[in-house]
Amino acid sequence: MRAAHALPVAALAAVLALTSCTKPEVPTVKPVSGRLVGVTTSGIDVEAKLEAYNPNDFEIEVLSYTASVTLDHKINLGSITSQQKVTLPPKKKKTFDVPVSMKWNDAQQLVPLALSKRDVPWDADGKVKIGGDSIDVELPFKVSGVVTHQQVQEAVSRSLPKIPGLPGGLPF
């Protein structure tokens, strides 16, 4: 008699376990800001500040991110991937920084920008990979900013070789 009673209890427990499990919800990631950290003869450093919201009842992690940086909407500086991890607590928003350092492929690409005597826009387009025990997604982000004419001019000036006998600085 006990065995007959145990079967319905086990079946009820299994039904409750199956119905109480819900599919994880996809977190959201939105850009908060983009900031130029530095321009050097080696490259450009930018920082994307992102805000993520985890709608689930359990922690998940930012596992990595990938970003591509473009100057003046046409000069592609390339892409980077980082394994920077950030824990996203359940049912909360969290703001975190994504540092992006890009090396110049060819510093000569900057010369026309320096000669243009204007500020130069930059864009960082990327994806954040988020995962946990029961979720694995990639979410896009985009941040933008401006490299001032002075910053471009200084980077070009420092990257060019000194020319003996040339008075003064460069013509920009």
The pLDDT tens digits for 46-96 are: 888 999 999 999 999 999 999 998 989 988 888 888 888 999 999 999 999
How many CB atoms within 10 Å of residue 154?
15
**Which CATH number covers residue 101?**
2.60.40.10
* The residue type at 140: P
Report how many domains make up the chain: 1
User: Is residue 165 in a domain?
Assistant: no
Q: What is the pLDDT of residue 89?
A: 96
Q: What is the pLDDT of residue 128?
A: 94
Distance CA 57, CA 64 (A): 22
Q: What is the pLDDT of residue 19?
A: 43
User: Is residue 172 in a domain?
Assistant: no
Identify the domain containing residue 60 by its residue range: 24-159
